[in-house]
Amino acid sequence: MNCTNQGGRLGHRLAVSILAGSILGAISGSALAAKPVTDADIMNDAATTSDVLTYGLGTEGRRHSPLAHINADNVGDLVPAWAFSFGGEKQRGQESQPLIHDGKMFVTGSYSRLWAIDVRSGEELWQYEHRLPDGILPCCDVVNRGAALYDNLVLFGTLDAQLVALDQDTGKVVWKEKIDDFKGGYSFTSAPLIVKGLVITGVSGGEFGIVGRVEARDAKTGKVVWIRPTVEGHMGYLNGKENGITGGAPNKTWPGDLWKTGGAATWAGGTYDPDTNLIFYGTGNPAPWNAHLRPGDNLYSTSTVAINPDTGKIVWHYQFTPNDGWDYDGVNETVAFDLEQGGSTVKAAGHADRNGFFYVMNRENGKLMNAFPFVDQIDWAKGVDLKTGRPIETGMRPGNPAEATDGKKGSQVFVAPSFLGGKNWMPMAYSPDTKLFYVPANEWGMDIWNEPIAYKRGAAYLGAGFTIKPLNKDYIGVLRAYDPATGKRVWEYKNKAPLWGGVLTTSGNLVFTGTPEGYLKAFDAKTGEELWKFQTGSGVVGCPVTWDMDGEQYVAVTSGWGGAVPLWGGDVAKSVKYLNQGGSVWVFKLPGKRMAAN
């Protein structure tokens, strides 16, 4: 059922619901200090339903809730409880995931802003707006994907590469630390990860020749505990002391000095598995894009690195696209799940890569268990060798400019997926109920060619040109359900515009995700049938969450079209230029006992 077609019944419900929320919000406005968020709270986040304390609804990143009050039978009755506008002219892409704790919602927005909102009434409690300097160098829009909670703090990163810790009750700065120099191309857009009292962060800026790394700080003070670079040859540190060179030596898989500006940015954040005591962080493309300048595997770019949170050392790695020549990155989330195989349970991990393949790995040692396409067209490789773990390339690489007659442009090829990926940053979800992954995919390709390039600090460091093109006339985005044990596609939902938002599953047999056309949608988790949709007024490229409060279940999502597609999308960007920007967060519930009581 389309909620927008319910007419007067919706208007009545909305008015009464907002009135009820306002009354309860007024009498529940708290002068009490926030309840501290503990390490135990964070580790239990996936199982507890009254809050959302982590990006991913649990450190493992499964984005699943055991809540079932809203289910496939009644989701068609879902109505807005309240909506909150981010206000002003600072709109752009709103890719954030809200957090819920102690009666407050904490949600970040574009241009490095953060709000605390009364979760019952939708009333603003405080707002923090980071003062951004001139000359910031964000690659792919001025987005922020979320915050982290620890003790009485809410922590988030900024576009000028700082990490800020705010008091949950007042919004006042408790501490602020510089991650790196934004003038060199560094920025920060992902949600921090909390592990054992440490706040874990990465860096953005791979298109500017920065050096990727993962860092851990004391969450209460901001003091650095360890640093682990993700480009081979750079030194790591633990408590201020050298802690081993990544990879053991410089430029083993890099030519010359290119490892010094090697990219491998860790811009999409990480997950943590307490069973193996490992942090899983994805690394981005090697720099520059022109792969002819850097023959070799270029470790540890386009990889998942598994890091010991106590020491910062890399325990294992898996590289998805050696010597990446298409900007396929490897930053997408690695999700911990248990896989039944041969009568035993394997500690597995799932990863849907931008290169178009879905990988199933043993998360204890990184050994590849399975790999299969999750998009229909993959031109650069015909498969993945399950014995070696390496792609079986087709030779479809853009040509070397040095071999061109004019020395300015190498031969052009058309290849799918495009560099925006079979799946980009937008996180998938895994349901332990259906044992399926729900992957927000896109079917598009690109013309790509290489150009000469030299590194200059703070300047774009690509050495490539491109134009992105749709592969089908009727759709680009497609939400797909996959069985990771077999690689079988169970169902799919096609969408005209690219999908660019996260996915949520619940034990109510539901899958939620948004579309650039402005809809938050709910699907039957087993069949893919569309059960409900609501028009939010701008493109939904954020990540939905759910929680229960006062005996009722709620669903929330941010709305605001933007991100990389309108900036980098070529012919695809032209096809969606009619979509409007925005900035808001919407909260939904079922009509029920609260409305009846009022």
Active site residues: 327
**How are beta strands 510-514 and 503-506 bridged, if at all?**
antiparallel
Tracing tokens 């405080």 back to the chain, one arrives at 126
Phi, psi of 524 (to 5 degrees): -70, 125
**Cα gap 150→167, rounded to integer Å:** 10
**Cα gap 324→303, rounded to integer Å:** 11
How many helices and strands (H and E) does the chain possess? 5, 40
How far does CA 202 lie from the centroid of its chain? 13
**Cα gap 79→436, rounded to integer Å:** 28
Tracing tokens 């999700």 back to the chain, one arrives at 335
Please tell me whether residue 594 adopts helix, strand or coil conformation. helix
DSSP 346: E
Burial state string for 21-44 with b = 16 or more CB within 10 A and e = fewer than 16:
bbebbeeeeeeeebeebeeebbbe
The two tokens of residue 27 are 């009498």
Burial state string for 7-16 with b = 16 or more CB within 10 A and e = fewer than 16:
eeebeebbeb
